[in-house]
Homo-oligomer: A and B are copies of this chain.
C-alpha cells in the first residue's frame, strides 16, 4: 500500500479483452496500484465504452475513459509497455510477433509459446506453429519455478489452467526424486468459464447445470505442456494420465492425483519426506497454501484469489500418494498468474494487485 507516483505506473494493453480471461484481466489491472491500463482491444466491441460492456467495472478508477478498439500494433506500441494477449491460440502468435519486435513486453495467456518443440505444437494443436523463431526466447511463466527467467523475459507464455493445478503439486516431488511421474493419474474438475464465452449448445445453462461429464478423454491439448514440464523436471520423457471434467460451477479447478512414490519415499517415513519437500519448495511463496494434515482443498477457498491450495496424503492401503490442488482457473490458472509474472518482470512487489 505504498504511494505510487502516477508517472511511474506501467502502461499496459489487453489484447482481446472480451472473453472471461480478458474480463478478469481488465478488473485486476484497473485495481492494480502500479498499472495504468491504456489499451483494450476487441474487434467485437470496437468503439464501445468499458462501462457499457462490463458495467461492474464502470466505476473503478481509470475506467471511465476506456473504450474498446480494434487492435492496431503501431498504436499499441506507442501506448503500452506491457501487452497481455487473451486471444485464441494461433491468433496470439500473430500479435506477439510485431509487439515483441517493437519492444513491447508480451505476456501471452494462450498456448502459443508454452511448447518448446514446434513438432509437439503441431501434434497437439493441429497446425504449424505460427512463429517458431520466437519459441527459444519464450519463458514458461510459472512464477514459483521460473522466477529468475521471468525477470528478464520479453515474451512470457503464461501456463494453462489445468497445467498449473498439476505442476505446482508435482514438480518439487519429481525434481527431488520422491515420486515416479510415469505412474501419475490426474483427474481435474473445471468450472464452465474454462470453456470461454462462446455460444455453444453444450455450455448452455441447462446443458451444464445438474450435469457432470468427462471430456477430451486420452487427449487434451494441455497434456503437451504438462508433460513437457514434467519431463524437464524428471530429466526423462514422461507421459501421464490426465482426464478433465466439466462441473456446474462458474470458476475453479480441483485436481486429484494418484502417483506411486519412488523407492526412496516408500515406507512409513515417506509422507514426511513428501511434506518436507513441498514445504521447502513453497516456503515464503505468497500464493501457495500448503494445507496441513486436517484440511483438504476446496475451490470455494480459492475462487476470487490468486492462491492455489495443495494437500497430500499417503494411502496406507495402496501405498500410493494422493496429491490434491484447488485454484481459480481465471486467476492462478490464467490472468492472476499472468499479472504475478508481470509484477516479477517489472520489479514490482509480487503480490501487487493480487491480494483479493
A-to-B contact residues, CB < 8 Å: 1-4, 20, 31, 33, 55-56, 58-61, 185, 187, 189, 191-193, 197-201, 203-215, 217-218, 223, 239-241, 243, 245, 247-252, 254, 256, 258, 286-287, 289, 291, 295-305, 307, 309, 311, 313-318, 320, 322, 324, 326, 355-356
The distance in angstroms between the C-alpha atoms of A208 and B218, with both chains bound, is 29
Q: Are A211 and B241 in contact (CB under 8 A)?
A: no
User: Complex Cα distance A129/B196, Å?
Assistant: 40
Q: With A61-B355, A248-B247, A315-B241 known to touch, is A214 a contact of B324 (CB < 8 Å)?
A: yes
With contacts A33-B1, A189-B245, A211-B249 taken as known, whether A204 is within 8 angstroms of B206 at the C-beta atoms is no
**In the bound complex, how far is the Cα of B55 from the Cα of A300, in angstroms?**
10
Other-chain contact of A205, B2, B215, B248 (Cβ < 8 Å): B248
Closest 3 CB pairs of A and B: A211-B300, A205-B208, A213-B298
Q: B241 to A320, Cβ gap below 8 A?
A: yes
Contacting pair A243 B201 (CB below 8 A): no
**Nearest chain-B residue to A27 (Cβ)?**
B356
CA separation between A1 and B8, bound complex, in Å? 14
The A interface is mostly helix, strand or loop, or mixed, namely: loop
Q: Are B55 and A289 in contact (CB under 8 A)?
A: yes
A to B CB contacts below 8 Å, 10 in the list: A1-B61, A187-B256, A189-B189, A193-B206, A210-B249, A210-B303, A211-B299, A212-B247, A218-B317, A245-B254
Please, how many angstroms separate the alpha-carbon atoms of A248 and B197 in the complex?
Answer: 17
Which residue of chain B is the closest to A58 with respect to CB atoms?
Answer: B289
- A30 → chain B, closest Cβ, in Å? 9
Q: Give A205 to B315 CA distance when docked, in angstroms.
A: 30
Question: How far does the alpha carbon of A304 sit from the alpha carbon of B309 in the complex, in Å?
Answer: 22
- Name the one of B3, B60, B239, B251 contacting A355, with C-beta atoms under 8 angstroms: B60
Shortest A311–chain B CB gap in Å is 8
Q: In the complex, what residues of B have CB within 8 A of residue A314's CB?
A: 218
A199-B201, A205-B205, A247-B189 known; A297 and B214 CB under 8 Å?
Answer: yes
CA distance A301 to B207 in the complex (A): 10
CA distance A37 to B324 in the complex (A): 32
Q: Do A212 and B241 contact each other (CB < 8 Å), given the known contacts A56-B301, A218-B315?
A: no
Are A55 and B301 closer than 8 Å at their CB atoms? Answer: yes
> Which residues of chain B are within 8 angstroms of A295 by Cβ–Cβ distance?
55
Distance of A17 Cα from B305 Cα, bound (Å): 21
Q: State the CA gap A287–B56 with chains docked (Å).
A: 11
